[in-house]
Structure 1
C-alpha cells in the first residue's frame, strides 16, 4: 500500500467512510469518540468499553507530563495527531497548557473545533501532516502524540519532525503499540493482520523506536508500559464479542445496528483480525527530551 493509499484510507476511516468506518460507528454508541479516538486506560475495577476509558488515557499522560515540568500554566504544547481534540482540550483545561492540535483528517479538525467551542477553552486546531509540521523551529515546549503514531510508518521522520518544533530541553510524550523483537511467524502474521485491519503502519519494536530517537538527537527518558490497562482490557471485550458472534448474534442486535447503518459483518471481520494479535502487542508511553 502506497503512502497516498494509506492516507486516503485513514481519512476515510475517521470520516465515517469506507470499510473501516463500521466499527467506529459502533464505538460511537458506547464511547465518547466524538472527542477521543485512543485505546483507553482502565484499572481492573473500572469499565473499559463504556464511559471514560479514553479520557482516562489523556488524564494519565497529562498527569505524567505535569509531574515532569516545573509548571504547566501557559506552556506551549502541540498535540500531533490530535484527532477530535479530546486529549488536547483536557491538557488545556486541566493543566493550563497553551495548546495547538494538528491532524491529517479534516473531519477530525472540524469536530475538534466544535468541541473547543463547547469546552470554552482556548485552542488552535489545524489540518496537517505529522511528517511536515507547519510550525517554526522550537515553537513548542511540549509535544504529545496520543495513539496517533500507530498510523505513521516513518517513526524516524516523525520524531525528527517533532524534535524540530520542540524547544531545547523540551518534553515529548508518545503513546504507541510495539511488538517484541522476536516472534514466531504465526504471531507475526497475526500482528500484520491486526495492523491491516485498522489501516495502521507496520508495528514497530522498542529497539526501532530507540534507534529513531537517537537518530533524531533526542534522549529517551522513561518507557511506561500500560498494556495491562489498555490492550489487556480491550482483549477481554474482543473475546466476549467473538464468543457471542460464534453462537450467532441475536436478530435484535442486528436490527439495532442496522438503524445506525452499521455493518455487523464488517465489525466481526475486524474483531476477528484483531483478537489473535493482542497477546503479542504492548501499549507504551515514551517520554523523551530534546
Structure 2
C-alpha cells in the first residue's frame, strides 16, 4: 500500500507530533509502559504487563542486531528513543536516531540527557528515504515498527543498504500480509492502514525480494504474529480508558474508528508481524 510521498510523511509526522485529531502518542504512551510498539507474549498463559512485553520485543531486536562494543548503530524511526535507551544501557555502542517528528526529536534528546546517555546518542529530524549520511556510515541499523510508515519502503531499504558498511547488520520488526487475504480481512487491513499511517505493507516474499535486490543476504525471518497479537486487544482497552480525553472538537467518530482498527489487529491473522535480520554484503 502506498500513497504520495509528501502526503504520507505529513500524515505520519502529524500522528506522532500530537497535532492530529486524536493526539495519539502523548495520550497513551505512559499507559503502555513508555514503549509505543507491540509487546511479545510467550503463549496464552503469559500474563506479562505491556511494559514487560514491549521490553521483550526490544530485547529480541537487540539480539538480532548482535551489537559489539564501539559500534555505530542507526535507529531508523527512533520515536522518543526508548528502544535506543535500552540498547545503550545493555551495550557500549553509539546510536544515531532519526524520525520525521520534530516533537519526538525534542523528547528523545531530553530523555537522553536525563538518562545520562547524551554522550553516546544523537537524535535528529530526517527522512528514511533520503538519509543525510555518507555511504558506509554505520556498523548496523534497526527499524522497529517504522518502515511501514514509509511511503516507499524499497527506497528506504536502498538507503539503509547505502549507509550500512559491508558486513554490517540490519534488524527489522514490521508488519506483513500473510496470504491469502480474504475480503473480510482486507477490509480490516484497510482500516488499520488508514487509521495508523501504514503506507508500506506487503507479503513477506515481496519484502525478501526488496532486501535481496539491495544487497542484503543471510536473511533470517521469524513470524511472531501470534506472540504480538494480544497487543491490539490490550491497546484498544487502553484507548477506551482515555476515550473522554481523546474526544474533542467533534471527533468522536474518528476516535471510535481508531479503537476499532486497533482491535482489528488482534482479530486479523492475515495482518502478520515478523522479526528479520540480514547482513549487508
Normalized against structure 1, the TM-score is what? 0.84
1:282 counterpart = 2:272: yes
Q: Tell me if structure 2 keeps the 8 A contact 1:15–1:105.
A: yes
1:74 counterpart = 2:81: no
Distance 1:178 1:227 in 2: 9
Distance 1:26 1:186 in 2: 30
Distance 2:98 2:237 in 1: 35
* Alignment match, 2:53: 53
* Alignment match, 1:250: none
Distance 1:104 1:235 in 2: 25
* Alignment match, 1:9: 11
Deviations 1:117-164 (A, max 9, x none): 111122111110000111111111111001101101322111110010
Give how far 1:90 is off. Answer: 1.5
SS at the partner of 1:134? coil
Give how far 1:271 is off. Answer: 1.9
Q: How does 1:183-198 map to 2 (within 5 A)?
A: 183-198=181-196
Give how far 1:183 is off. Answer: 1.4
Deviations 1:218-277 (A, max 9, x none): 1142101222221x21244368689xx7xxxxxxx6xx754x455565432212134335
* Alignment match, 1:270: 258
Q: How does 1:13-52 map to 2 (within 5 A)?
A: 13-22=15-24, 24-33=25-34, 36-44=35-43, 45-49=46-50, 51-52=51-52
Structure 2: tracts of 5 or more residues without a match: none
Distance 2:49 2:148 in 1: 21
SS at the partner of 1:174? strand
SS at the partner of 1:99? strand
Structure 1: tracts of 5 or more residues without a match: 246-252
SS at the partner of 1:156? helix
Q: How does 1:5-154 map to 2 (within 5 A)?
A: 5-22=7-24, 24-33=25-34, 36-44=35-43, 45-49=46-50, 51-66=51-66, 72-121=68-117, 122-154=120-152
Range moving further from structure 2, 276-285 or 169-178? 276-285
The number of residues matched between the two structures is: 269
Normalized against structure 2, the TM-score is what? 0.87
Range moving further from structure 2, 168-177 or 146-155? 146-155
Range moving further from structure 2, 38-47 or 8-17? 38-47
Q: Tell me if structure 2 keeps the 8 A contact 1:220–1:286.
A: no
Give how far 1:96 is off. Answer: 1.4
Distance 2:224 2:187 in 1: 24
